[in-house]
């Protein structure tokens, strides 16, 4: 009812007479508000892709403008013609929002494509001298922790992720992280996978890890590939998909708790080690102890 009322108050003849001015002002509003939003989002460390798309979606005039300008014209705070003009500008920007959303999606896909293309020479340059290194596929929470450990222990590695925000965070921490898809043969070639000692898949979703494993095994049948899993069923799926070893998170947490409990109960270190070894061998699932 609100928008119907607004529409009934719009003078069609006024639109025809001032169409150029309305479109010019609508464009100016979109550019100004979109630019401010983009700046704020970048200030809060959002990636260019996310900031650009979000700014396009939110750049239109708001519903409160209808109320404010409508009342201003009604009570004589501003001339009725000026209020009508501003109402039209807001209406046009709101009507353009779906198109701006589609434009943002197109630009986002182009940015991803360009990022993949532009990053390849840089990745190849970074990895050209790497040998017996580790490839980290997925620079989320676990991937960043692994990168910290490898950096501290001087273990050569290179990481990739399909999330530009993760890549940007890794670069700020001076880690060799690049935009790349672990299931693509050209990306794997660029990061020196044929010369790598191992590949670690740290994706949270088991489906994504499974797809990456199928793709990797089709090219690197003998490569050591370690994978992260949420629980035992997920671990069994990934082992069947070709993982050399899988780390179920539930067992790592359980092992830490049990180890601490046995320590508090004054068990001998040898007995604690025996229990940990038995847990690692449980159902032939390899579990890396973080105790």
Q: Residue 11's pLDDT is what?
A: 72
Q: Residue 200's pLDDT is what?
A: 92
Q: Residue 119's pLDDT is what?
A: 59
Q: Residue 284's pLDDT is what?
A: 46
Is the C-alpha dihedral spanning 186, 192, 195, 197 positive or negative?
Answer: negative
Say whether pTM exceeds 0.85: no
Per-residue pLDDT of the chain (291 residues; tens, 9 = 90+): 766 776 676 777 777 788 889 889 999 999 999 999 999 988 887 767 778 888 888 999 888 887 888 788 778 888 888 888 888 888 889 889 899 988 887 877 676 655 555 556 667 666 777 788 999 998 988 889 889 988 888 888 999 888 878 888 888 888 888 888 877 777 888 888 888 889 999 888 888 889 889 888 888 888 899 998 887 788 888 988 889 988 887 767 777 788 888 888 888 888 888 887 777 665 444 444 333
């Amino acid at each position: 009812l609100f928008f119907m009322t607004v529409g009934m108050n719009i003078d069609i003849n006024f639109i025809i007479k001032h169409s150029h001015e309305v479109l010019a002002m609508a464009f100016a509003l979109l550019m100004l508000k979109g630019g401010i939003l983009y700046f704020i989002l970048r200030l809060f460390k959002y990636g260019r892709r996310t900031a650009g798309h979000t700014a396009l979606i939110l750049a239109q005039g708001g519903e409160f403008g209808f109320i404010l300008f409508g009342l201003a014209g009604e009570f004589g705070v501003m001339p009725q013609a000026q209020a009508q003009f501003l109402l039209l500008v807001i209406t046009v920007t709101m009507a353009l929002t779906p198109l701006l959303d589609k434009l943002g999606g197109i630009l986002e896909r182009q940015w991803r494509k360009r990022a993949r293309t532009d990053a390849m020479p840089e990745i190849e340059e970074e990895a050209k001298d790497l040998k017996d290194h580790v490839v980290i596929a997925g620079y989320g929470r676990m991937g960043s922790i692994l990168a910290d450990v490898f950096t501290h222990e001087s273990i050569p590695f290179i990481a990739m992720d399909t999330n530009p925000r993760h890549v940007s965070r890794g670069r700020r921490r001076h880690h060799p992280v690049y935009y790349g898809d672990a299931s693509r043969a050209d990306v794997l070639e660029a990061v020196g996978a044929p010369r790598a000692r191992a590949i670690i898949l740290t994706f949270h979703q088991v489906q994504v890890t499974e797809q990456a494993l199928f793709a990797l095994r089709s090219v690197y049948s003998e490569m050591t590939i370690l994978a992260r899993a949420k629980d035992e069923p997920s671990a069994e799926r990934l082992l069947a998909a070709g993982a050399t070893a899988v780390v179920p998170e539930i067992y790592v947490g359980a092992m830490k708790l049990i180890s601490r409990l046995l320590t508090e109960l004054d068990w001998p270190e040898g007995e604690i080690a025996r229990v940990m070894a038995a847990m690692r061998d449980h159902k032939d699932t390899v579990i890396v102890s973080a105790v």
